[in-house]
Amino acid sequence: MTFKALVVEKADDGSTKASVQTLEESLLPDGDVTVAVEYSTLNYKDGLCIGPGGGLVRTYPHVPGIDFAGRVETSTDERYKPGDKVVLTGWRVGEVWWGGYAQKARVKADWLVPLPEGLTTQDAMAIGTAGFTAMLAIMALEDHGLKPEKGPVLVTGAAGGVGSVATAVLAHLGYEVAAVTGRPETEDYLRGLGASRIVPREELAETVKRPLESETWAGCVDAVGGAMLARVLGQMKHSASVAAVGLAGGAALPATVVPFLLRGVNLLGIDSVMQPYQNRVRAWNRLARDLPLDKLRAMIQPATLSDLPELGAAILKGAVKGRAVVDVNA
């Protein structure tokens, strides 16, 4: 019994190489549930794991892919039976454990969630970790009082995966969305997802000039971090929250504490990897309800396993628009 997978190998000089290979099923790691994978996707972290690893991958040869959706083939756990449709994101699958860039995956039952009603496995991977994280960010903002009547919501890194889903969901929920992008050519795409205003990246790229600027945003989903996040903190309305999701623009935070002290601004950390089961199910059900499928399908760029080395390098350069969806059986 064999299956196809994208395998990353490391040479003695430390360089890595990714190629599609045929593997024996006996090489799959231990786990409760074996899944016939139908689709996977591409996230920023996948770009790191397809390439030199970014310190995330521990052992080689490695099968990356932090997300997958497919059909249960065998299960020793009573929660899942053959034929059930399942989704996996996070839990360091595709980093420490073999992941979804393969026709077969074997994982712990605790890491899976049932495919939400109303979504196909392809839709679930158009969402993937990026979209799941966007929804966690929106839920955190709502839990801290965000409502459409409070004012415009800023989405940074808007044409990327997290940003695209955040823009589409917020617009569908009735929010006025201001989308920050460094790619002016994505304006029509972002407006199609529901953004009512485009903010050029340069406007927010500089570090904090004054710790407080005029109160502009009622909320923010931030995929960029760095100087942009520092700048945005000073533009938040009183008591408003920023959900910090990513570091596409840098990990340092050259900010002051003044927005926290004088405006009661909240900085909410979002981690998609170790989310407990109940919150995962809540987020997936919200995605099935609040992300219009026509908008989701407009974000898709179809891909195969052999496209991944090139796509992995592209996402690290911020050059992938929307969501690449990988048909692992193509």
Is residue 88 part of the contact set for ligand NAP (CB under 6 A)? no
Q: Which residues pair with 301 in a beta bridge?
A: 324
Q: Shortest Cβ distance from residue 127 to ligand NAP (Å)?
A: 11
Q: Which of 273, 281, 298, 313 binds ligand NAP (CB under 6 A)?
A: 273
**Is the distance from CB of 115 to CB of 193 less than 8 angstroms?**
no
Per CB under 6 A, the segment of 54-62, 99-107, 158-166, 232-240 that binds ligand NAP is 158-166
Per CB under 6 A, the segment of 74-82, 101-109, 138-146, 154-162 that binds ligand NAP is 154-162
The CB-based long-range contact list for 181-190 (8 Å cut-off, 24+ gap) reads 181/157, 182/318, 183/159, 183/321, 186/158, 186/159, 186/321, 189/159, 189/298, 189/321, 189/322, 190/158, 190/159, 190/164
Is residue 157 part of the contact set for ligand NAP (CB under 6 A)? yes
Q: Which residues pair with 71 in a beta bridge?
A: 36, 85
**Is the distance from CB of 156 to CB of 232 less than 8 angstroms?**
yes
For residue 169, which of 198, 193, 202 has the smallest C-alpha distance?
Answer: 193
Binding mask 301-330 for ligand NAP (x = CB under 6 A): --------------x--x-x----------
- Give the residue at shortest CB distance from ligand NAP: 160
Is residue 181 part of the contact set for ligand NAP (CB under 6 A)? yes
Q: Which of 23, 107, 126, 158 binds ligand NAP (CB under 6 A)?
A: 158
Tell me the CB-side half-sphere exposure of residue 259, using CA atoms within 13 A. Answer: 29
Is residue 247 part of the contact set for ligand NAP (CB under 6 A)? yes
**Is the distance from CB of 36 to CB of 104 less than 8 angstroms?**
yes
Is residue 263 part of the contact set for ligand NAP (CB under 6 A)? no
Give the number of residues in contact with ligand NAP, rule: CB under 6 A: 33
Per CB under 6 A, the segment of 100-108, 181-189, 293-301, 302-310 that binds ligand NAP is 181-189
Q: Is 91 left (phi over 0), alpha (psi -120 to 50) or beta?
A: left
Is residue 10 part of the contact set for ligand NAP (CB under 6 A)? no
Is residue 129 part of the contact set for ligand NAP (CB under 6 A)? yes
Is residue 223 part of the contact set for ligand NAP (CB under 6 A)? yes
Residue placing its CB nearer to ligand NAP in the complex, 127 or 270: 270
Per DSSP, 27 falls in state: G
- Pairing relation of β-strands 323-327 and 300-303? parallel
**Per-state percent for the chain, helix, strand, coil, to nearest 5:** 35, 30, 40
Is residue 270 part of the contact set for ligand NAP (CB under 6 A)? yes
For residue 41, which of 129, 116, 108 has the smallest C-alpha distance?
Answer: 129
Is residue 237 part of the contact set for ligand NAP (CB under 6 A)? no
Q: Shortest Cβ distance from residue 105 to ligand NAP (Å)?
A: 19
Per CB under 6 A, the segment of 53-61, 220-228, 234-242, 287-295 that binds ligand NAP is 220-228
Q: Shortest Cβ distance from residue 190 to ligand NAP (Å)?
A: 8
Range 16-75, binding ligand NAP (CB under 6 A): 43-45
- Pairing relation of β-strands 197-200 and 67-75? unpaired
* Tokens 């919200």 belong to residue: 286
Q: Virtual CA dihedral for 66, 182, 218, 300, nearest 10 degrees? A: -40
Is residue 160 part of the contact set for ligand NAP (CB under 6 A)? yes
**Is the distance from CB of 112 to CB of 32 less than 8 angstroms?**
no
Is residue 177 part of the contact set for ligand NAP (CB under 6 A)? no
Residues binding ligand NAP (CB under 6 A):
43-45, 129-130, 133, 157-163, 181-183, 186, 201, 223-224, 228, 245-249, 270-273, 315, 318, 320
